[in-house]
Chains A and B, each alone.
Chain A
């Protein structure tokens, strides 16, 4: 279980951001099961390379029940589709709706993993670099949230431990009491943390957050390799735009599932998709090999 360093995150943040936006748009526009499955596979592979099998399995344990839940819930609320499986209260529960539920669940997992790998590449500093100018308030909020996560976690454990000694605990007593205790603990957490943010706001003001004309420390210089990545992203974007416009990969769930057929074009699209989604993996492998070679020359 080796842990690769994430070379993809070293690219210029603007380029990396454009890449991830493209993938995001692609994932939600092309509603083809084969396409989604291939994408999910590549995203999981990337997560496996970055965080190892243990972390991947751990997140899947949480996610699979979610997919099942959405898959089961959807057909009960959504009665479109032509293939009834059985009837409930005189309303059909259809195969199409069931499959659409599964599809949505898998899509959500894909998006979660996409966001995970995104956050591995765009840390808070890069995020502010990207959005500090356009969305000053939102980027401010996001920095604070990112910084506060570890503190909240630590404070929460301090609070719940202390409160447990005072008889307020989520692990003891009847359900009602536990819920009440939980609510109380959360409310202290919020008020104690809010107290701290007043200082943070003052400290930001004192150091000129409100001034106009900010600059950025890490210049994130454009290099030739950023240009290569950008051009590849744009070319692939155009390719998939054509795919979408021509409808070569359209898929409908309702009223009846579109028939899935594989021909040279659809296979080509899948392969290109693998390449596109797999760019971070390819970059990481190339850089890893490059590094190993550079060691060998010494």
Chain B
């Protein structure tokens, strides 16, 4: 019997004529590991919330949801709480208490379990998730990855039979994401839980799920095994193709003329299978060794002149308090006009601190930051991780006018700036919206508009791709390329290796407060074994100098 069954589920918010969910019928069986995916606004989160009846959004709902054969409206609240677990997107906001052990006990206390039982279950889960290390620490001292694992553990103690997760890793770095998914896989495979997860970044999750439900405009466009759905997405040519795992996308490039006739099961989803396919392709088509090496960039031509320097950091040392250790040690580098400079590195190596120094928010105790283009600090613009903290007013229009006013600029500058760049063409339609109501990508674009009003020459970005779907990332890349085309220098701190590889001119690796290497992406990523892009992993020792899917395409179709 199905654990969860939805029958002709249709839902719309009041005051909004458009249906968010449209005639959704799904059968989900015990032990299924299901990925819900689709472009932003396709209704995947809404569907997921309806499955956890208690937090279903308010609006007009028709159709039925059955949980273990019983209509979900008739299931007692108590079993809805314990049987169906829900993990939210933002690791911070869903935490209620201030200590991990309290947080884990929270659900069990509400369910009214005897204290001994709570003690046993919390202990059991804490050791399963490796939470003992920070069991009694203050929660605000934990990393995002630790918080999200804690949230999962706080659900698992209630021993649910179904686990629903709404983009749980969109705020995490790649290492924490990998850890989270491996524990999720363990829960599904070893404990037999039914898992339904929403994601828009499919790279890591796609290979480990059993079924994929692909949604478009509130409808289920495909619900099948990952290979079949992958083929369907590829053949339809939708934007979702960019979100598929890299090995799949490389395969698509190689077989693009005849993929419609391919057996879906031969589509590779992980690096191992991707390598096998690539090797086979190279051998079968007898591609000569000269076509396996992407010609290296001409380093001489990339050499920049000193007078093109935009920003120059000279021997920067920084610590937050006199008695605390150095966060940044002897950091020296320069960025140039018309360049995207990416700073990569794990959590807590000082990347964000470095940005705060460059933007002038913090001062180094030794060393200097020189902006060689102008001497005005306002020419350096800073886009924080959450662009929402850039907006002060209730509507975009008021906000922009306020910015112009505070900086003694004429109001007409808003229109001028909008007209100056193509990618701002659609922004006026959002002028009356509240900034907080916009999607992540839209918010970011508005934030860019704010920055551009100040006409900066250097833009600093902190994790600009965090929480963005594939489509918004593409928009971001367009914006960055246009800006650098106008001579602006962009410095970004990121965990997103694929994005950095595709779009930066140079990458720097930070480790332990120091910059340990700076190089062009090609050499940076093809020299790394683990800290590198998926394309580089797939093509290593088969092709050379290929770090993005585009590189592979160029090489194979000269």
Q: Is the C-beta of B55 less than 8 angstroms from some C-beta in chain A?
A: yes
Q: Is the C-beta of B32 less than 8 angstroms from some C-beta in chain A?
A: no
Interface pair A208/B94, CB less than 8 Å apart: no
Which residues of B (66-124) have their CB < 8 Å from a CB of A?
Answer: 77-78, 81-82, 86, 88, 90, 92-99, 101-102, 105-115, 118-119, 122
Q: Is the C-beta of B184 less than 8 angstroms from some C-beta in chain A?
A: no
Considering the chains assembled together, what is the distance between the CA atoms of A112 and B118 in angstroms? 36
Interface pair B140/A165, CB less than 8 Å apart: no
Closest to A146 in B: B98
Contacting residue for B407 out of A124, A167, A188, A206, CB 8 A:
A167
Interface pair B406/A188, CB less than 8 Å apart: no
Interface pair A208/B90, CB less than 8 Å apart: no
Q: Which among B287-295, B386-394, B535-543 touches the partner chain?
A: B386-394
Closest to B78 in A: A211
Q: A124-B102, A195-B436, A207-B107 are in contact. Are A217 and B122 (CB under 8 A)?
A: yes
Other A-B pairs beyond A165-B361, A207-B96, A219-B115, 5, CB < 8 Å: A124-B98, A166-B406, A185-B392, A199-B94, A206-B52
User: Can you list 14 A-B pairs, Cβ within 8 angstroms, ordered by A?
Assistant: A124-B97, A151-B92, A163-B390, A166-B406, A203-B95, A206-B55, A206-B81, A207-B96, A208-B82, A208-B107, A215-B113, A215-B115, A216-B115, A217-B102
Q: Is the C-beta of A184 less than 8 angstroms from some C-beta in chain B?
A: yes
Interface pair A166/B99, CB less than 8 Å apart: no
Closest to B115 in A: A219
What 5 A-B pairs are tightest by C-beta distance, nearest first?
A208-B81, A199-B93, A217-B105, A203-B94, A208-B110
Q: Is the C-beta of A143 less than 8 angstroms from some C-beta in chain B?
A: yes
Enumerate chain B residues within 8 angstroms of A163, measured Cβ to Cβ: 389-390, 392
- Write the A181-219 contact mask toward B (1 if CB under 8 angstroms, else 0): 000110110011001110110111111111111111111
Interface pair A206/B436, CB less than 8 Å apart: no
Enumerate chain A residues within 8 angstroms of B94, measured Cβ to Cβ: 199-200, 202-203
Interface pair B118/A217, CB less than 8 Å apart: yes
Interface pair B93/A200, CB less than 8 Å apart: yes
Interface pair B93/A125, CB less than 8 Å apart: no
Interface pair B112/A165, CB less than 8 Å apart: no
Give the size category of A's interface with B.
Answer: 35 or more
Closest to A213 in B: B112
- Write the B346-362 contact mask toward A (1 if CB under 8 angstroms, else 0): 00000000001001110
Which residues of A (131-185) have their CB < 8 Å from a CB of B?
Answer: 143-144, 146-147, 150-151, 154-155, 158-159, 161-168, 177, 184-185
- Write the B180-193 contact mask toward A (1 if CB under 8 angstroms, else 0): 00000000000000
Enumerate chain A residues within 8 angstroms of B112, measured Cβ to Cβ: 211-215
Give the distance to chain A from B58, nearest Cβ to Cβ, in Å. 12
Interface pair B102/A125, CB less than 8 Å apart: yes
Interface pair A162/B390, CB less than 8 Å apart: yes
Considering the chains assembled together, what is the distance between the CA atoms of A186 and B239 in angstroms? 40
Interface size on B, residues (CB 8 A): 62
Considering the chains assembled together, what is the distance between the CA atoms of A165 and B140 in angstroms? 26
Enumerate chain B residues within 8 angstroms of A200, measured Cβ to Cβ: 93-96
Considering the chains assembled together, what is the distance between the CA atoms of A187 and B95 in angstroms? 23
Interface pair B102/A168, CB less than 8 Å apart: no
Q: Which residues of B contact A (CB under 8 A)?
A: 52, 54-55, 77-78, 81-82, 86, 88, 90, 92-99, 101-102, 105-115, 118-119, 122, 138-140, 154-155, 158, 356, 359-361, 378, 380-382, 384, 386, 388-392, 402-403, 406-407, 436, 450, 454
Contacting residue for A166 out of B107, B139, B403, CB 8 A:
B403
Considering the chains assembled together, what is the distance between the CA atoms of A202 and B166 in angstroms? 13
Give the distance to chain A from B417, nearest Cβ to Cβ, in Å. 14
Enumerate chain A residues within 8 angstroms of B450, measured Cβ to Cβ: 166
Enumerate chain A residues within 8 angstroms of B402, measured Cβ to Cβ: 184
Enumerate chain A residues within 8 angstroms of B406, measured Cβ to Cβ: 166-168, 177
Closest to A168 in B: B406
Q: How would you classify the secondary structure of chain A's contact residues: helix, strand, loop or mixed?
A: helix
Q: A146-B98, A147-B96, A211-B78 are in contact. Are A196 and B90 (CB under 8 A)?
A: yes
Enumerate chain B residues within 8 angstroms of A204, measured Cβ to Cβ: 96, 106
Enumerate chain A residues within 8 angstroms of B122, measured Cβ to Cβ: 217
Interface pair A217/B115, CB less than 8 Å apart: yes
Give the distance to chain A from B49, nearest Cβ to Cβ, in Å. 8
Q: A199-B88, A205-B55 are in contact. Are A143 and B93 (CB under 8 A)?
A: no
Considering the chains assembled together, what is the distance between the CA atoms of A162 and B352 in angstroms? 13
Q: A211-B77, A211-B111, A216-B115 are in contact. Are A206 and B86 (CB under 8 A)?
A: yes
Which of A162, A188, A191, A219 has most chain B Cβ within 10 Å? A162
Enumerate chain B residues within 8 angstroms of A203, measured Cβ to Cβ: 86, 88, 93-96
Q: A147-B139, A164-B361 are in contact. Are A196 and B93 (CB under 8 A)?
A: yes
Contacting residue for A143 out of B97, B140, B158, CB 8 A:
B97
Interface pair B392/A168, CB less than 8 Å apart: yes
Considering the chains assembled together, what is the distance between the CA atoms of A188 and B81 in angstroms? 34
Considering the chains assembled together, what is the distance between the CA atoms of A150 and B97 in angstroms? 12
Enumerate chain B residues within 8 angstroms of A159, measured Cβ to Cβ: 389
Give the distance to chain A from B124, nearest Cβ to Cβ, in Å. 14
Considering the chains assembled together, what is the distance between the CA atoms of A182 and B108 in angstroms? 42
Interface pair B391/A188, CB less than 8 Å apart: yes
Considering the chains assembled together, what is the distance between the CA atoms of A219 and B105 in angstroms? 12
Interface pair A202/B356, CB less than 8 Å apart: no
Interface pair A188/B392, CB less than 8 Å apart: yes
Give the distance to chain A from B107, nearest Cβ to Cβ, in Å. 4
Contacting residue for B110 out of A167, A177, A199, A209, CB 8 A:
A209
Enumerate chain B residues within 8 angstroms of A155, measured Cβ to Cβ: 389
Enumerate chain B residues within 8 angstroms of A124, measured Cβ to Cβ: 97-99, 102
Considering the chains assembled together, what is the distance between the CA atoms of A264 and B402 in angstroms? 71
Interface pair B96/A192, CB less than 8 Å apart: no
Interface pair B105/A211, CB less than 8 Å apart: no
Q: A202-B55, A207-B154 are in contact. Are A215 and B109 (CB under 8 A)?
A: yes
Give the distance to chain A from B55, nearest Cβ to Cβ, in Å. 5
Considering the chains assembled together, what is the distance between the CA atoms of A102 and B380 in angstroms? 53
Contacting residue for A217 out of B81, B86, B108, B403, CB 8 A:
B108
Considering the chains assembled together, what is the distance between the CA atoms of A158 and B154 in angstroms? 29
Enumerate chain A residues within 8 angstroms of B108, measured Cβ to Cβ: 215, 217
Considering the chains assembled together, what is the distance between the CA atoms of A185 and B391 in angstroms? 9
Enumerate chain B residues within 8 angstroms of A191, measured Cβ to Cβ: 436
Give the distance to chain B from A164, nearest Cβ to Cβ, in Å. 7
Interface pair B109/A214, CB less than 8 Å apart: yes
Which of B88, B96, B119, B158 has most chain A Cβ within 10 Å? B96
Enumerate chain B residues within 8 angstroms of A154, measured Cβ to Cβ: 140
Q: A164-B361, A191-B436, A199-B90 are in contact. Are A144 and B55 (CB under 8 A)?
A: no
Interface pair B96/A188, CB less than 8 Å apart: no
Interface pair B359/A165, CB less than 8 Å apart: yes
Contacting residue for A207 out of B90, B106, B115, B118, CB 8 A:
B106
Enumerate chain B residues within 8 angstroms of A208, measured Cβ to Cβ: 77-78, 81-82, 107, 110-111
Contacting residue for A192 out of B78, B81, B381, B388, CB 8 A:
B388
Considering the chains assembled together, what is the distance between the CA atoms of A214 and B108 in angstroms? 8
Considering the chains assembled together, what is the distance between the CA atoms of A125 and B105 in angstroms? 10
Considering the chains assembled together, what is the distance between the CA atoms of A213 and B454 in angstroms? 58
Closest to B384 in A: A162
Enumerate chain A residues within 8 angstroms of B105, measured Cβ to Cβ: 217
Interface pair A162/B389, CB less than 8 Å apart: yes
Q: A166-B450, A167-B403 are in contact. Are A217 and B119 (CB under 8 A)?
A: yes
Give the distance to chain B from A165, nearest Cβ to Cβ, in Å. 5
Which of A158, A166, A184, A199 has most chain B Cβ within 10 Å? A166
Interface pair A217/B97, CB less than 8 Å apart: no
Closest to A196 in B: B93
